[in-house]
Structure 1
């Protein structure tokens, strides 16, 4: 069918239907990797984010797949878990067997099959050097995130899964700048209840012991398949032709208000345990944010009318800036939102028309593209004019090479995976505002990436 989905999409749909059919017929539980021998390298054609969420870091030493990319959600989860991974290696599965010795270098993106003794020795040295570097960076934990000229910054951590909380504590992060809530809905047959959600949020908030926690409401769509939502009839069984441009993020929440209201109620109850902010994903215009805010206030008012205790004032409600549309109307959005968080992963994808999980076009995914930098600058300037906080919480924030540039663009708050916090702090403490502004001025004059 030339008018329908392409061969790759059809193959993905057949595989997904087959996987669900086998699991339902055999009543098999969601796969867990806890039985894998310690030191296992997981090799697969593809690994979904929900699969990555089940990986046990104490047993899985590395991951390599034929499909995917460095900036996809699966890669983000694996990085958060501290698991070396290389995604997008064509022909990998055909060249391996269950007893194949494999070396995965997540830093260089190299997978070595049947390494020679010399390669193994070199790999062990690289592991030892990496461990020494981590130990040295560990000294950054208690140092303040202050630039050489005294300018203060705020370094927080992203949280994909509760198991990362220990890593967040070790990183020296000043809070959680992005709690992705999709994990609560993954690898289960039913949508989590308000009580289940409240318990999870409260545990995270209490563990942070007074440090702020920013909770992003459910961002379903794109590569994040959630079977519980399908089973509940909340989303279509077969994804949209282009899931990234379809029913995802706030569009789903506004279209399924009962799902949104349940999550908001759980967050508001948990917020009694400590400082919380609430963040809305995939905003493209002011009307969407206003509609989300109306539901937020209505849920709070109904809870108060029932006599429930809520924080006073309510937790701030902010907008993700991850679409060109949101960045271009940031001034108007800033008059409505309590804060901004720039999600550079999706912002790059939508601005550059590049699927970050597609190997054939991954070279075009460039966060240093002038269009991306201008949208970040526009958003930072709009936040300043509206006197609201702004942070960067995408993978761009985790790269210390980009830190001076982002500082020069006016960003003072970063949220990264926990392991990147010390490196970013080191970059912050090694520069001045003037140096960053000079660098940014030079970069922003360029017209090519």
Structure 2
């Protein structure tokens, strides 16, 4: 396959003009007769410029770390150390290898949007035969390459249902149930940060595509991910952070139960870390009638009193609960108005005071001016006071942090009301 690539006009990946941004070449470790395989092609190839698509460690045109070494020391050192076992695979062309082939030999004049300005996401491209559907990178499928690969037989799309709170979730491949080997192709579409806790696959200097874990964490998720195999874990796999808010984890194994130990022949376990998202900006500092003593800086819920009334004119701006809470048991995108409370105006009985001034005496004259003393008499009475009312859907908790308020889905709280919760 590698030599067929040369026939099609491909050069070695480590000979690209941009290679110094991705790998370091240890020239002192290279056999002298093969040094030309590591030279940079300053002018690209005869057929095409070699940097149309990004540098891919997993290309079938990339050498492995110890290629043509004369002293068993590495000749190619990736700046991203997690890609050491990714470089040098010859089992199949990478996504960008195929995309390059189609760009060179299958471009159609009646499909001008094949490679750009189309609806395909994650750098997918339109099928060159029909120009009617997207060719997706590994790990993705769907009409627009925005879904987890439907060909996978295990895995999941994992999100944090309470994004304003940090969360840890463990993922692992399902355990096989038989001694008959069965292919496992697990794809996990996750967010933010991952730690590889354990792995048990076939150990090789270049990981086999039939026994590995692959993590796509770079901004371009069409690129080959970092691959690891064996049963030990290096420190750089203990904290992998996505360059965007999405990461793809792929596990491949021809898995079965070990007849002697009863354990799976292949496995992995990892922990996903969801960092708390920033609080949405719902600044209610203009609510001069709401005081900081009404709600504390910790989470609390205050229910409406029987004496609260709301004015019909502003109440109509709040949708009914049946409209605002489509998924009260499992919201997917924030539930009630993206976590923002509904704001209405209301009135409530409150205490007010009047002051009467009473002259007590004027017994001194200074510079011709009488010096008088007064007494202020305070009288308490009950009146109807205007209040700003914040509403949250049922099973949501109204949270305040300084002058910011938002609703958080929290069905485990024992004191949540079954109807609207509010603060006045």
Q: TM-score, normalised by structure 1?
A: 0.22
Q: TM-score, normalised by structure 2?
A: 0.23
Higher normalized helix content (fraction of residues): 1
The higher relative CO (CA closer than 8 Å, separation ≥ 6) is in 1
Structure whose alpha-carbon radius of gyration is higher: 2
